[in-house]
Amino acid sequence: MSFLRRAIRRPPADGSPPTPPDLPSPLDPPSPGRSAEPGAPPEATAEPRLAPDADARAEAARPAGDALATGLGRTRGGFVARLRSLLGGPTIDDAVWDEIEEALILGDVGPTLAAGVVERARRESGGVPAEAAVRRQLRALLVPRDEPFDPLRPAVPGGPAVVLVVGVNGSGKTTTIGKLAHRFRSAGARVLVAAADTFRAAAIDQLVAWARRAGAEVVSHAPGSDPGAVVYDALDAAVARGADVVVADTAGRLHTRVSLMDELAKIRRVVERRLPGARPEVLLVLDATTGQNGLAQAAAFAEAVGLTGVVLTKLDSTAKGGIVFAIEDRLRIPVRYVGVGEGVEDLVDFDPDAFVEALFR
Ligand SMILES: Nc1nc2c(ncn2[C@@H]2O[C@H](COP(=O)(O)OP(=O)(O)OP(=O)(O)O)[C@@H](O)[C@H]2O)c(=O)[nH]1
Ligand SMILES: [Mg+2]
């Protein structure tokens, strides 16, 4: 299975953002789709237009249980292995239930949730095996999905889908956008990425490099310019060119900095101004290794900009994948994707059943 052979590439030791694998250097000249000056009309690139058909879209959204299980390797070997050995023992007395609770806390499920899961599973376990009871209780923490997730759903009838990507510094936003662009292109969509992280020139270059590899078009302005204007121009360009989806990168920001969070709210308003009544996807990219602190981040972003989903990155780097349960239960926001590596294919659709199954596989 190819995902087993995926090399995990580590970031450069100096902390600078890595160049995505097999990509041109960020020092290469900008792509043709890039507009250099604020307000300059974005240029069109000669891009074949392939409308995403229903099959391709269904394929793009298919849960990937095997890839999930691999991405969860550390978690499965860590707290879940402990959990399973405790649950598989001959007798489960008070002391063992306490250890089960501890294992859940160790896996970042969170103390309150862990206590609740144990209490309810204990009650249930008279009738069903204890492992099944715990699995069921964990599964019940994940929020119900009312309708299938379709990131290519037009934000307004006849218009493009819009995906805003937000999160704290270094959580994996730009990398995730590269992966998403690749995935959407593979589904036949015409993809436009908006370089609304204007904070650093290198951020624009990093996005351009990812977009070029994925075959997506880019709309960008000069470093330091207004991120809202970039998004506005990108939406304009998407409408003019008939793009299927606009994915906007935003600067990493501390969730505690009010002025930076206000800037996000402004970007959100720009979408509304250009596409009145639009329903954009607003995805929070959370680094799974930050543990329970991710909950505070998510709450702040939800308040500032409204979130429709979470992308949990770096799940491959942590043994504490139980954070998924905490995020969904506490915030009632569905996890849509998980990042399981730094490569372009290392993004897995999140499906609640597949997740719990993969954990205990
Ligand atoms: N192991 C692993 N690394 C990841 C994953 N996603 C992103 N990364 C790495 O995380 C680091 C930061 O990724 P970026 O995409 O630059 O993060 P960002 O949120 O755009 O960062 P800023 O723009 O600085 O806020 C890079 O080294 C990525 O390769 C993942 O799923 N797994
Ligand atoms: Mg970035």
Convert the pLDDT of each residue in 73-109 to its tens digit. Answer: 999 998 999 999 999 988 899 999 999 999 999 999 9
Residue 17 in contact with ligand 1 by CB distance below 6 A: yes
Range 267-274 average pLDDT: 97
User: Confidence band (pLDDT; 50, 70, 90) for 46?
Assistant: very low
Closest C-alpha residue for ligand 1 atom 13: 172
Residue 18 in contact with ligand 1 by CB distance below 6 A: yes
Residue 6 in contact with ligand 1 by CB distance below 6 A: no
Residue 204 in contact with ligand 1 by CB distance below 6 A: no
Range 18-42 average pLDDT: 36
What is the tens place of the pLDDT at every residue in 131-168? 999 999 999 999 999 888 999 999 999 999 999 999 99
Q: pTM for the complete prediction?
A: 0.83
> Residue 148 Cα, ligand 1 centroid: separation in angstroms?
27
> Residue 3 Cα, ligand 2 centroid: separation in angstroms?
25
Coil/strand/helix, residue 99: helix
Q: What is the pLDDT of residue 67?
A: 86
> Residue 28 Cα, ligand 2 centroid: separation in angstroms?
18
Q: In angstroms, how far apart are the furthest CA atoms of the chain? A: 71
User: Confidence band (pLDDT; 50, 70, 90) for 32?
Assistant: very low
Q: Kindly tell me the sign of the dihedral angle through the C-alpha atoms of 322, 184, 61, 308.
A: positive
Radius of gyration of the chain (CA): 21
Q: Which of 3-7, 254-258, 264-268, 293-297 has the lowest mean pLDDT?
A: 3-7
**344 and 6 Cβ atoms separated by less than 8 Å:** no
**40 and 48 Cβ atoms separated by less than 8 Å:** no
Nearest alpha-carbon partner for 233 in 41, 44, 45: 41
Range 17-32 average pLDDT: 36
Is residue 100 classed exposed, middle or buried when 0-12, 13-18 and 19+ CB atoms within 10 A define those classes? buried
User: Confidence band (pLDDT; 50, 70, 90) for 125?
Assistant: confident
User: Confidence band (pLDDT; 50, 70, 90) for 188?
Assistant: very high
